[in-house]
């Protein structure tokens, strides 16, 4: 009996050792496949005239997990004459050897350096993220990127302007369909932000009593956007590219837009496009609460004439209704952008700052 028991224990030990050896071998095979996949993605990206480099690549997580950690990654794009570059101290993600179309739990906390060209001028941003996780999925019809972040700070190195975002959720679906037309959503974007602190220039601020104060305050409590860019745009993203997009019927379809900024609460949906002067125009259906307080704030900040605000408040008050007995009045009206003027119903509300396209490559 003792001899039989020892044989059973021996067989069990041999089986466990064999299983451990097999698991070890499988893990190292899987790690090699992941390394090959990453190097293949980098080679494919470079083949398109883009940049992809890193300092070192380490695969960890033995014996059952696979984590890839890349130091000093640099990813850039140069296709279409609109170069951009992203740098970070390190990049870590969870991968599976047999899953070549998906990357989960991409750790993006830390400092990022982003550079690109806007209106013909170089822009360099330093972005710090207290917490950030992302994922990528390469589907047959679209590439899907998802980011969830908190404690974001972005600083423009050119003018030291600073934007803070308490919490952000972003989802972008980039179409891979061949030969899209103006009815094809080439970019579907979902963006949800909370606790946004804007720099003075973006709020239309002016110096008052020693403080920079925009017309509705420096803080946007909540912002939500869900919409799609319809029709293909050249990767150059310049005047010529957007003019061709406009001429081919390109639009931005807004499914859901919500904004809570100071006293203003706005929700809208509709369509935006570019007019003959390459300036934004649009037609939306909007629901607005806090319009009276918003007009008062615009007057106090010098962004609107008092007489004009009084007239707007009178007409808008006639059209407003309260959704509930104790609720503030709301307006449901067409919201239009035409000839750089934002109008609520028949009442012109504010001027829209013009898009200043680079003078090179086109005539104004």
Confidence of residue 119 (pLDDT cuts 50, 70, 90): low
Helix (H, G, I), strand (E, B) or coil at 199: coil
Q: What is the pLDDT of residues 43-85, one digit of tens each?
A: 888 887 888 999 999 999 887 788 899 999 999 987 656 688 9
User: What is the per-residue pLDDT for 353?
Assistant: 80
Residue 291 CA to residue 130 CA, distance in Å, equals 35
- Separation between Cα atoms, residue 71 and residue 56, nearest integer Å: 5
Strands 102-107 and 110-118: unpaired
Cα–Cα distances in angstroms (integers) from residue 43 to residues 36, 38, 102, in the given order: 10, 9, 17
For the cut 70, the answer to whether the pLDDT of residue 128 exceeds it is yes
Measured distance between the N- and C-terminal CA atoms of the chain, rounded to whole angstroms: 99
Mean pLDDT of 9-37: 71
> How far apart are alpha carbons 42 and 91 in whole angstroms?
14
Would you call 289 exposed, middle or buried from its count of C-beta atoms within 10 A (0-12, 13-18, 19+)? buried
Report whether pLDDT(177) > 50.
yes
Where does the pLDDT of residue 204 fall: very low under 50, low under 70, confident under 90, or very high at 90 and above?
low
Cβ–Cβ under 8 Å, residues 223 and 193: yes
User: How many other CB atoms sit within 10 Å of the CB of residue 122?
Assistant: 11
Q: Distance (Å, rounded) from C-alpha 104 to C-alpha 129?
A: 18
In whole angstroms, give the CA distance from residue 323 to residue 330. Answer: 7
Tell me the pLDDT of the chain averaged across its residues. 85
Q: Report helix, strand or coil for 23.
A: helix
At what angle are helices 291-300 and 306-319 packed, to 10 degrees? Answer: 180
Q: Quick check: 128 and 110 in contact, CB under 8 A? A: yes
Question: What local confidence, expressed as pLDDT, does residue 74 receive?
Answer: 93
Per-residue pLDDT at 18: 59
Residue, of 166 and 314, whose pLDDT is higher: 166
**CB-CB contact of 260 with 282 (8 Å):** no
Query: What does the block give as tokens for 38?
Result: 């990453």
pLDDT (tens digit per residue) in 206-255: 444 444 446 788 899 999 999 999 999 887 778 888 999 999 999 999 99
pLDDT, position 14: 58
**Residue 363: which pLDDT band, with cuts at 50, 70 and 90?**
very low
Q: Is the pLDDT assigned to residue 273 strictly greater than 90?
A: yes
């Amino acid at each position: 009996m003792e001899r039989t028991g020892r044989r059973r224990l021996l067989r069990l030990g041999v089986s466990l050792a064999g299983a451990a050896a097999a698991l070890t071998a499988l893990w190292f095979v899987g790690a090699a496949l992941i390394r090959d996949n990453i190097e293949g993605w980098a080679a494919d990206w470079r083949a398109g005239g883009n940049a992809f480099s890193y300092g070192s690549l380490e695969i960890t997580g033995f014996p059952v997990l696979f984590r890839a950690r890349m130091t000093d990654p640099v990813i850039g794009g140069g296709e279409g004459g609109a170069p951009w570059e992203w740098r970070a101290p390190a990049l870590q993600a969870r991968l599976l050897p047999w899953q070549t179309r998906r990357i989960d739990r991409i750790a993006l906390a830390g400092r990022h350096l982003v550079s690109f060209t806007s209106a013909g001028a170089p822009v360099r941003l330093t972005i710090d993220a207290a917490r950030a996780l992302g994922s990528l999925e390469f589907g047959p019809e679209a590439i899907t990127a998802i980011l969830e972040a908190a404690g974001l700070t972005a600083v423009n190195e050119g003018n030291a302007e600073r934007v803070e975002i308490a919490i952000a959720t972003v989802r972008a679906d980039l179409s891979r369909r061949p030969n899209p037309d103006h009815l094809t959503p080439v970019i579907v974007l979902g963006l949800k932000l909370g606790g946004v602190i804007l720099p003075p220039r973006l709020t239309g601020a002016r110096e008052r009593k020693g403080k920079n104060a925009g017309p509705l305050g420096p803080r946007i409590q909540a912002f939500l956007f869900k919409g799609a860019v319809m029709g293909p745009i050249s990767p150059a993203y310049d005047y010529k590219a957007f003019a061709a997009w406009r001429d081919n019927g390109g639009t931005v379809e807004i499914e859901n837009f919500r904004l809570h900024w100071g006293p203003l609460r706005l929700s809208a949906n509709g369509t935006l496009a570019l007019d003959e002067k390459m300036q934004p125009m649009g037609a939306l259906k909007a629901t607005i609460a806090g319009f009276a307080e918003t007009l008062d704030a615009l007057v106090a900040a010098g962004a609107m004439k008092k007489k004009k605000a009084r007239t707007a408040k009178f007409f808008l008050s006639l059209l407003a209704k309260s959704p509930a007995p104790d609720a503030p009045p709301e307006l449901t009206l067409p919201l239009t952008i035409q000839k750089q003027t934002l109008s609520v119903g028949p009442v012109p509300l504010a001027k829209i700052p013009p898009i200043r396209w680079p003078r090179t490559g086109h005539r104004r």
